[in-house]
């Protein structure tokens, strides 16, 4: 994703195939996020960061590159 907030950013996101014995995610930056959880892509937590939600929505519909935060 090419996005703009206070500055210009390029973000890379990876898909992970969850196995039955997968390790629980750990929040190694508790000062930056409230929690870290495995979530159903159809039922994301209400406080999901907007650009992350946009990436997940794009992934579900087959979009592999997006721009976010730029003027239309």
Q: How far is it between the farthest Cα atoms of the chain?
A: 44
Predicted pLDDT at 43: 92
* Cβ density class 33-55: b for 16+ within 10 Å, e for less: eeeeeeeeeeeeeeeeeebeebb
Looking up tokens 């195939």 gives: 17
Structure tokens at 15: 């898909």
Predicted pLDDT at 36: 81
4-48 pLDDT, tens per residue? 888 888 999 887 777 776 777 788 999 988 888 888 889 999 989
Predicted pLDDT at 24: 75
CB atoms within 10 A of CB 23: 6
């Amino acid at each position: 994703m090419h996005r703009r907030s206070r500055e210009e950013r390029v973000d890379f996101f990876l898909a992970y195939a969850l196995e039955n014995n997968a390790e629980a995610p750990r929040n190694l930056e508790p000062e930056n996020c409230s929690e870290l959880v495995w979530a159903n892509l159809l039922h994301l937590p209400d406080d999901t960061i907007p650009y992350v939600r946009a990436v997940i929505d794009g992934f579900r519909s087959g979009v592999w590159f997006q721009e976010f935060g730029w003027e239309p």
